Amino acid sequence: MLLDTNPNINGVIFDLDGVVVDTAHFHYTSWKALASEWKYTLTHEDNEKLKGISRKDSVVKIASWAKVKVSENELNEVANRKNEKYLALCTALTPNDILPGISEFIHELKASNVKVALGSASKNALFVLNKLKLTDFFDVVVDGNNVTNSKPDPEVFIKAAKLMNLDPKKCVVVEDAPAGIEAALSAGMLTVGLGNAEELRNAHLILPNAENLTLEQLNKLNQYHLT
Ligand code: B16
Ligand code: MG
């Protein structure tokens, strides 16, 4: 049986890290270890600026903060070593690590015939989704392996809408990072920011986390419906 559907919302695109699962601190721990080799102490504020940014672009940013010059070879080598550390931490992930509210919301969307996609900058997205046993719930997965430009470029979200066969104006993006909100707005989509209200101030709707994320909440987006 279909639940009440909102005609303005045909698809929801989820960011992965920080929205579906809290892997952001795994990224932080791994980058911090690498940055310390350059005698640079990566701060929480620095890490906020890396959210949603591709692995390679992250190395470039950290190198510039540490004021070190890196060759293309070194850049790749550092990115690979960071990924080994990150994957080692992700190995222990289980469905218990899905953030509160996310499974319920995905089930509600499926029951209401709203399409569900992933739009992540991560090249490890499928590995993580498999660990969480969530892969089969996503109609479409677009990740760091399928895009050329990382957030705040809208490519990842535009591609997800295209693969779902949906009008971007009828898609809602759920994000935890300012770069992701910017990307979604450039894609012409409605946005829900999960986390810090000040950092995510450009989102149409801001919630502290996904615990109260429901289709009823998304009805608040009707006032912004894009024509
Ligand atoms: P990987 P999201 C992003 O994922 C992370 O926020 C960001 O910190 C990370 O550097 C990026 O993925 C690339 O990840 O190294 O696994 O390819 O938030 O867009 O889901
Ligand atoms: Mg994120």
Is 123 among the domain residues?
Answer: yes
Counting the structural domains of the chain, the total is: 2
Residue having the nearest C-alpha atom to atom 8 of ligand 1: 51
76 & 135 share domain: no
163 & 98 share domain: yes
60 & 139 share domain: no
CB of 150 closer than 8 Å to CB of 53: yes
Identify the CATH number of the domain in which residue 193 sits.
3.40.50.1000
97 is catalytic: no
17 is catalytic: yes
Tokens of 110: 């499926």
Single residue among 32, 59, 90 that ends a domain in this structure:
90
For ligand 1, the distance from its centroid to the CA atom of residue 144, given in whole angstroms, is: 8
Amino acid of residue 3: L
Atom from ligand 1 closest to the CA of residue 79: 15
Residue 1: per-residue pLDDT: 38
Is 5 among the domain residues?
Answer: no
15 & 53 share domain: no
Give pTM, 2 decimals: 0.93
| Nearest-ligand number for the alpha carbon of 24 | 1
Burial category of 41 from C-beta neighbours within 10 Å (exposed 0-12, middle 13-18, buried 19 and up)? exposed
Pocket probe for ligand 1: among 42, 87, 120, the residue whose CB has the most ligand atoms within 8 Å is 120
98 & 80 share domain: no
| Cα dihedral across residues 37, 38, 40, 45: positive or negative | negative
64 & 118 share domain: no
180 & 113 share domain: yes
In angstroms, how far is CA 135 from the centroid of its own chain? 15
Tens-level pLDDT at each residue, the chain (227 residues): 344 567 789 999 999 999 999 998 999 999 999 999 999 999 999 998 999 899 999 999 999 999 999 999 999 999 999 999 999 999 999 999 999 999 999 999 999 999 999 999 999 999 999 999 999 999 999 999 999 998 999 999 999 999 999 999 999 999 999 999 999 999 999 999 999 999 999 999 999 999 989 999 998 888 887 66
50 & 156 share domain: no
153 & 171 share domain: yes
Is 157 among the domain residues?
Answer: yes
84 & 191 share domain: no
115 & 137 share domain: yes
Atom from ligand 1 closest to the CA of residue 177: 18
Single residue among 90, 115, 132 that ends a domain in this structure:
90
Is 76 among the domain residues?
Answer: yes
Instruction: Domain of residue 52: give its range.
Output: 24-90
Which residues form the pocket of ligand 1, taking CB atoms under 6 Å from any ligand atom? Answer: 15-18, 27, 50-55, 58, 83, 120-124, 144, 177
Identify the CATH number of the domain in which residue 82 sits.
1.10.150.240
Alpha-carbon span 195 to 206, nearest angstrom:
7
For ligand 1, the distance from its centroid to the CA atom of residue 15, given in whole angstroms, is: 9
